[in-house]
Structure 1
Amino acid sequence: MAKKKAGVLGLDLLLDKKSLKGLIVEPENKPSMVVLVGDDQFVNRHILSRLRKCIHSEEDDESWAWREFSGEDQPDPRDILDEVATVPMFSTAARIATVRRADSFVSSHREILENFAGRSPGNGGFLVLEVRSFPSNTRLAKAVQQHGLIITTSTPPRFDLTGWLQKWAAQIYSIQLPAVTASTILERLGNELGQIDQALSTFAAALPLDGKRSLPPEMVDSLEGMGHQRTVWEMVDAAAAGRTTEAISLLNGLLDAGESPIGLTAQAATVLRRYSTAARLLRGPDRPTSLGAALKEAGVASWPKALSQAEFALRNLGSHRCQELPKWLESLDRSLKAESSRGLRARLAIERFFCLMSTSAGKQLENK
């Protein structure tokens, strides 16, 4: 059997349907096991859907030959492997067993899975595992690298998500998405691909069916369905610009509406880390020619309104506080995942972070 790649990126497979089919359908490539590694449920869901369509082209085949288990229920591995080993009598479809949220299942049955991963799939089906982590130095991972397929479903740190989003919008929604618009959407929503896809669906419905379906950056905040994201952006902009009272008021509204403190700070961190990067670039030996150039190089959207707001925020924060932002964000993240994980403590932790960003309150809090 041909050796598999150690890891294939799920985001790439979503843009190229034929490549996924070639990795699992061709006889010389047929895997004994497919492992989805990562915690992006949007990518996981779409990869599983593509797998079903690749293997089960007929609806009847799909309903008969695809079975899902929950790893959290600790299913008996013998039942799962029996599903995979069953050869269909009246269907051409391969039998596939999928274990969702399978981290604990893998830990409990590693030896059985190692033996299974090292076998040739023959005429049977194959096993799909969905896990958050899959260390490459384990015997199981090495066996899957040799005889199966590992698909990374998380977004790599330096991945060109702007370019990917442009291609996804064109393929799925027939939208021409300029790079600056894609950057604006990512700025508003972070790397939450599920939310981004829902926003693209809203945008697609708002654009004319005929003619050029292009989305300028100015339209992003005005379209229906972006109200929550606009409020988050306004909160971050107010905090960075020193309007602490306004930022706290917007925060309280979002938390009262049921938003997650960790989710809100993650979106804020996406923007604020760009400000920190811009400040670092301006201090470096190859400093950009202007404040705007530094912000663009740091990943801030280049459309006029966004750039103007970012320049004002950067001037208000100053070099020292921009330099401290990553440390403050890390401290806030630790706090929200520990002693300030919920309720009033979570609210106060974020409010204190906003105060650190303001000119006068920040100095008082830092001196405590």
Structure 2
Amino acid sequence: MERLLAALGHPERRFEVVHVAGTNGKGSVAALCAQALTGSVRVGLYTSPHLVRFGERIRVDGAPVADDVLASLLDRLLPLVEATDATFFEATTALAFLAFAEIGVDVAVVEVGLGGRLDATNVVTPRVAVVTAIDYDHQDVLGHTLEEIASEKAGIFKRNVPAVVGEPRRSLRPVFEDAARRVNAPLVFVDDVAAVECVDMALTGTRGRLRTSGWGSLEVDLPLVGEHQARNALVAAEALAQLPAAWRPTAAALLERWRRVRWPGRFEVVPRVPSGWWIFDVAHNSASIDALVATLQRVAPPRPWVAVLGVLADKDWRAIVRRLAPAVDELICVLPPSAPPARRWDPHEAATFAAALGVCARAAPFEAALADAERAGATAIVTGSFTTVGDARIRLGWDP
């Protein structure tokens, strides 16, 4: 990655960075940070993977960079990718950095792809490094204990750069403290300086009172649904508090900008015609499924709830099914069409496993499952992998 960026003239050094890692919530925190800064400075946002179109990954001031701009930059990049034998994600990251540099962003909010320490994005020296919630995922790469996973995430800490940690477990604090000490990074645990004081939610969004270190008490009104999104907003606020004062919005501007934040595929509620709801939620590990179930129970959309679930084979799909199946009225297991061949699960095995739990479950072809869910469910839920949610949106005509 360093060789590739050096050949490009180090575009990543031509703008400031907010670097965000974590198991769950990192995309939402990145989106909230970018939305909060838009209007104060010119902002890039780099996230992965995409739901429908590649351009979703690379945004400036909230809009995807135009395809023709990316294509022109890619013409410059490809010979260097081949010469350095860069991976797809390294090339994508370099493309984002080059786009941000050429367009002239002031700040880029950069989401880690996987882990942190060895991630392709970990070539930046940010103004603040952020770690969101930690949980089990990608254990084959990151380790089999929460401590090992946390250590990999803390690998984004940089010398003398403030680090903000949103993970609440006190048992993991020594991991972050050790990592910060090694690079003399000022360390802020969100729960030491801030709190979510109350939360109310509906299918239209989440309202809550946040006690923050930078803005005092904030009455937030987010179009993102779920108690976890109030928590993500709190983490974003504490990350933003570490940035230069000239970049930070006023409290009024922050609240107004957050009312307009959009993050497709995260408990995204879409009305159906003539009645009923679609809910799209990327939830591909146990913790994110727990958040989905908790949010469903809290906002209580109309029943029956029919869930269409597609999971990649390298995930702990049994743990996901155990949590989701008893909470819904029917579970339909599917194989999303764009799932990588090497990572395709067996939906029939998953449905058999779910049925053994005593719930209504079956496997079905992807498009038939969507039609069945729409017909049988007052609320149809599409969840699991990015490919599942993205493929459903394509077939239903919903563009993120």
**TM-score where L is the length of structure 2:** 0.27
Name which one, 1 or 2, has greater alpha-carbon Rg: 1
Q: Give the strand-richer structure, 1 or 2.
A: 2
Give TM-score scaled by structure 1 length.
0.28
Q: In proportion to residue count, which structure has more helix?
A: 1
